[in-house]
Amino acid sequence: MDPLDIQTRYGKAIVVLTIAISATLAHESFVADKTSSEFKPKPNQTCEGTPIEVDYPYHGGMLGPHACEPQCDDKEQHFVLYTNGKATQCQKLPGCLDWGEDQGVTCLPSADKTEN
């Protein structure tokens, strides 16, 4: 008796399970709208939270250090302030990823907003 024979109960269960998993994966990959639940700041909007000052400049793209890590510990919203005056937003709480840095999206520190 072949376990993948669709004439058997076991074979039918395998087929149904495979179809259910495939349908779920297809729905999550192509149909489900996940954009509303994730914070995606617009370029050059005002930064939220307090600055985490780092000792290197921002030139776009992903940088090595995990600058937003303090946000995991203190549970306060932060943004990263670089030596060249640019800033990127940390992920919205409860997350603590370097969202702006990873996505190449900068924000304006509060002081920059008052100068305009």
**Model confidence pLDDT, tens digit, residues 19-30:** 999 999 888 888
In this predicted model, which residue has the larger pLDDT, 42 or 80? 80
- Predicted pLDDT at 33: 63
Query: Cα separation of 78 and 66, whole Å?
Result: 13
Mean pLDDT computed over 48-61:
88
Query: Cα separation of 56 and 88, whole Å?
Result: 13
Q: Residue 37 above 60 pLDDT?
A: no
- Predicted pLDDT at 28: 83
Query: 106 — phi, psi (to 5°)?
Result: -95, 160
